[in-house]
Every structure is written in structure tokens, then in C-alpha cells.
């Protein structure tokens, strides 16, 4: 049974992540927000530190635990607090420092979560150490990942990939890209597979980097694939098209990455709440946790509501990750965590800007930056509306064809 407190075995890791966020990320946050697309060189040293921690076994890295469909449920009487829970806790702390810099961390790309969830054992070993971006979204497909048009055609011992991907996080900096493509458009969702494509592969081209509202330190690329040949062994997982299992491989990736995105929103919102509480207290607004909200000032009552909403998002995030560690189906919980945290992140950060007035809106503090950064966390890895649709389908037991 899940305990909703931070496990003792992960408390040290979370504290280390918080210290790194406070001492390494927060001081350079504004610098790289202004210097969009400039690579934060300070992250190289931080990545080396994280690699050292990972080698001790204290954590499996961001999403490295994956959501494995081929594992049995949790052992009877045993509860795991493993890599997935460690990841969301550390990611939340790092995003308390800066979300965009966390997304720019070497060897911690969203594509690494896809590898962890879908790759076979031989591939897991072969791809160890790669920094993988994830290329899903296409012009015209938006949130409907099952409708992708990028194709992968088998030609001897290779697949030939053609198509265009947009909004690829770390698309320029990463050394490889996990590309989602269809083997047969007529077979629909079941034919969608993911491929590990190396950045120096002929046929892969980074066309441009996007200018964005937030997470400006993170490079977001448009990538095209023109007769891009990929060895057949770099198709992640099984090459067989199983109509019955359908989108299972892709969903396993989302079940892993959605709690991570929820963690980013939780961390960014927590940063806003912490700073806002300090600024309110400096202005003479006392927040009393021993008195009902209606007996306090409007500002204090609003803050208490925001904090309660944030707590709900954090607990859903932890539940989704804990279920993944214990090899329990978590698709519903992953979408619930992502939907709740994405909405709460935007609500909390914007409300904190409003509570702090001119200080919140100006660049004197980081509140305005966090409000800009948090919006993407309600959009990528499935928008708020898509998550609510998935949750409704799961609860009502309806298929995507039955509930659109």
C-alpha cells in the first residue's frame, strides 16, 4: 500500500537535488532565459555529478526505471520505492530551480524514458549513456499521436524513415532521437513503432529552432527525415505488429513520461509558492495554518487554496510513479497526474504573479518567468483536454472510437 510521504530512502536524493537546484540552476536561470538557444555550459559539470550518483545505485536517473509491460505485478507483500519515484521527486526539486535547465540536462532526455519503457534488454545495454530526444508531434497531428504520418519502410536490414517532426525538446543538442513512425498507415495505431536514430545519421536534418514563450533555455527543434536509413536493430522493442495490443508500446512511454512532466509542474509551482509566501510576509500578510481561510485576509486565503491544490497534484504524481515502480498498470493515474499538475502549475504560477502585483509581473523576481515556463507543462506530453479525455475513457471503459 502506498504511503504518501517521501520515502526515507529517497529523502537524501531529493535533498541533494534541491541543493543543486538552489546553488547551480537558480543562479543562472535568468541568464539563459534571456540567452535563448545558448547552451548552458554549467550543465556539463552537473551532468557528471548526476552520473556519479546514478553509478552508486541511489537512483536510476530521470525516468530510467521505465514502465515495463512485460513484468509481473509487485511481489506479494513487497513494496518497491524505486527509480520512477526517485525520478519524479528529484525532477520536482530540480524544476524548483529551473524547468528549462532540467530539460537541457545531458543524457536525461524524454527519449531516454521511451528507451527505458520499450527497448529490449540488449537495446537497454547498447543505448546506455545516449542522450535521446523524443520526436512525436507533427504538423497537423497535434495531440493525436496515433495519427502520425511519418513512415518507416523495411528495406533489407534497414528501415527507411520519411517525415517531419516539430517541437522536439533537445532536438539539436541530444546525440540521438527516438522517432515515432508508422510501418503501415492502414493498420492504424498498432503499426506505430519507435526508432532510435542517431543525429549523425544521413537523412536526419535539424531545420530550425523555435522561439518560445517559456522554457527558453531548452532548445526546441523542427527535424526532417528524408530517406533516413536506420538499422533494423534500432527499432525499439518488437518489430511485430500486434493489432490486439495496439498502442501499448507507445502508451508505456507516456505512462513513464507523464508523471515526469507532472513533476516538472509540481516543482515550478512550488518555487512560485515559496517565493510568494516570502514576499507576502514582507508586505505584512501573515499566512496562518492554524486558522480557517475565511478568517484571514483575501491574499492569505487565496494562497492557502493554491497550496492545497498543489498538494493534490503532488500526491497524484507520487501515486503514478509508485505504481510504475510496483509494475502496476498506471495509465489512468499517469494521465490524472499530468492533467492535475499541468492545470495547477499554470493556475498557481499565474495567481502568484497576481498576488505579488508589480513584483510578480516585473523581472525583479522570477515569478513572471515561472508563469511563462509552466504553460508548456499543461501542453506537451498530451494537452489538458487530451488527458481529461483519456481519464474519461478509462473510467467509463470506452474505446477511443466510442468517446472522441
Average pLDDT over residues 277-286: 97
- pLDDT score for 175: 94
SS3 177: strand
Reported as half-sphere exposure (CB side, CA atoms, 13 A), residue 89 has a value of 25
Residue 205's domain spans which residues?
132-234
| Closest by CA position to 330, among listed 379, 387, 259 | 259
Q: What residues form DSSP beta bridges with 162?
A: 151
Instruction: Tell me, yes or no, whether 256 and 380 share the same domain.
Output: yes
Instruction: Tell me, yes or no, whether 163 and 266 share the same domain.
Output: no
- pLDDT score for 79: 74
Residue 362 lies inside a defined structural domain of this protein: yes
Looking at per-residue confidence, does 73 or 283 come out higher? 283
Instruction: Tell me, yes or no, whether 53 and 193 share the same domain.
Output: no
* Whether residue 7 has pLDDT greater than 50: yes
* Whether residue 64 has pLDDT greater than 50: no
Average pLDDT over residues 246-271: 86
Instruction: Tell me, yes or no, whether 225 and 300 share the same domain.
Output: no
Instruction: Tell me, yes or no, whether 75 and 96 share the same domain.
Output: yes
**Residue 247: Cβ within 10 Å count:** 16
CATH code where residue 119 lies: 1.10.540
| Backbone phi, psi, residue 98, to 5° | -170, 120
Residue 268 lies inside a defined structural domain of this protein: yes
Please list the active-site residues. 381
pTM (2 decimals)? 0.92
Amino acid at each position: 500500500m502506498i504511503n504518501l510521504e517521501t520515502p526515507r530512502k529517497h529523502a537524501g536524493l531529493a535533498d541533494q537535488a534541491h541543493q543543486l537546484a538552489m546553488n547551480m540552476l537558480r543562479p543562472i536561470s535568468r541568464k539563459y532565459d534571456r540567452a535563448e538557444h545558448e547552451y548552458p555550459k554549467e550543465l556539463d559539470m552537473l551532468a557528471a555529478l548526476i552520473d556519479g550518483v546514478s553509478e552508486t545505485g541511489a537512483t536510476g536517473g530521470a525516468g530510467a526505471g521505465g514502465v515495463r509491460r512485460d513484468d509481473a505485478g509487485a511481489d506479494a507483500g513487497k513494496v518497491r520505492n524505486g527509480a520512477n519515484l526517485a525520478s519524479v521527486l528529484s525532477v520536482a526539486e530540480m524544476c524548483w530551480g529551473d524547468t528549462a535547465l532540467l530539460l537541457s540536462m545531458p543524457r536525461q532526455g524524454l527519449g531516454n524514458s521511451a528507451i527505458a519503457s520499450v527497448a529490449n534488454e540488449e537495446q537497454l545495454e547498447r543505448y546506455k549513456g545516449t542522450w535521446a530526444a523524443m520526436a512525436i508531434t507533427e504538423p497537423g497531428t497535434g495531440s493525436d499521436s496515433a495519427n502520425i504520418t511519418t513512415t518507416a519502410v523495411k528495406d533489407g536490414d534497414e528501415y527507411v524513415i520519411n517525415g517531419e517532426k516539430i517541437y522536439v525538446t533537445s532536438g539539436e543538442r541530444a546525440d540521438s532521437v527516438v522517432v515515432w513512425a508508422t510501418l503501415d498507415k492502414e493498420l492504424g495505431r498498432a503499426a506505430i513503432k519507435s526508432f532510435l536514430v542517431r543525429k549523425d545519421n544521413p537523412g536526419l536534418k535539424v531545420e530550425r529552432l523555435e522561439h518560445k514563450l517559456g522554457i527558453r533555455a531548452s532548445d526546441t527543434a523542427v527535424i526532417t527525415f528524408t530517406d533516413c536509413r536506420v538499422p533494423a536493430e534500432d527499432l525499439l522493442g518488437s518489430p511485430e505488429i500486434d493489432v490486439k495490443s495496439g498502442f501499448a508500446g507507445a502508451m508505456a512511454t507516456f505512462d513513464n513520461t507523464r508523471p515526469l512532466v507532472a513533476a516538472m509542474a509540481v516543482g515550478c509551482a512550488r518555487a512560485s509558492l515559496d517565493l510568494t509566501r516570502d514576499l507576502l510576509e514582507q508586505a505584512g500578510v501573515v499566512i496562518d495554518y492554524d486558522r480557517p481561510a475565511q478568517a484571514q485576509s483575501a491574499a492569505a486565503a487565496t494562497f492557502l487554496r493554491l497550496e492545497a491544490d498543489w498538494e493534490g497534484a503532488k500526491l497524484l504524481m507520487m501515486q503514478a510513479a509508485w505504481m510504475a515502480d510496483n509494475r502496476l498498470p498506471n495509465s489512468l493515474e499517469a494521465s490524472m497526474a499530468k492533467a492535475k499538475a499541468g492545470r495547477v502549475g499554470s493556475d498557481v504560477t499565474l495567481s502568484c504573479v497576481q498576488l505579488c502585483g508589480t513584483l510578480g509581473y516585473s523581472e525583479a523576481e522570477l515569478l513572471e518567468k515561472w508563469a511563462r515556463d509552466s504553460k508548456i507543462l499543461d501542453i506537451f506530453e498530451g494537452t489538458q483536454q487530451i488527458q481529461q479525455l483519456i481519464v474519461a475513457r478509462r473510467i467509463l471503459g470506452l474505446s477511443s472510437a466510442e468517446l472522441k
